Amino acid sequence: MARLRLITAAGGIAVALSAVACSSAGSASGTPGTGPSSPAPAVPASPAVPASPAASASPGAGASAAVACAALAAHTFLHVTAALAGPGGSLTVTGNPATLVCGGLDDLHYDYTTATVTGHVIPGARITVFRMPAMRSAAISRGKLAAYLVADTGTRIFLVTGPLSRIAGLQEMYHP
């Protein structure tokens, strides 16, 4: 069984990482899943995600990972397909609502719908991508997101901070 661990990325948001490749059908490998047809509620500015589950094989470690995954799954995720620079440093993103699904062969995976939604990223918002193959997060400017998406070999699943009408942050989530 894969182990989950949380790392704290820039901005204090905890990110769940899985140690095994995702093989579930309908996962973020590019095949739309069966998630909700509308986006989840907006993410609070400082999400409260439990620290450090499943770091060892001790009894109860699986329960800790499940709690951490469930806490993270409550947030808004978006499979971003396009980005367009707007006036005053704003950015319009287009994508599919995504859902973090806890459990399965590798403890978690992302499903996204075929529905398309539009989000508006405010000037000054923080955008963090997950660089492959370096396996590290990196902040990029809003103006570079469109070019990044064209070459992105990752999942393009982003944790959204704030409502889609006023996105204050996008953080690409790692999942093989």
Comparing 60 with 164, which gets the higher pLDDT?
Answer: 164
- Percent of the chain at pLDDT > 90 equals 41
pLDDT in tens, 44-70: 333 433 332 333 334 456 678 888 889
- What pTM did the predictor assign? 0.65
- Mean of pLDDT over the chain: 72
Q: Give the least confident one: 37-51, 95-109, 150-164.
A: 37-51
Q: What are phi and psi of 32, to 5 degrees?
A: -60, 140
Amino acid at 108: L
**49, amino acid identity:** V
Q: Are 32 and 26 in contact (CB under 8 A)?
A: yes
User: Is residue 21 scored above 60 in pLDDT?
Assistant: no
Instruction: Please provide the DSSP assignment of 93-136 as one string.
Output: EEEEEEEEEE-STTSEEEEE-S--EEEEEEEEEEEEEEETTTTE
Domain locations in the chain as residue ranges: 4-172
Residue in 134, 171, 138, 139 with CA at minimum distance from that of residue 155: 171
What pLDDT score was predicted for residue 61?
A: 62
pLDDT of residue 166: 97
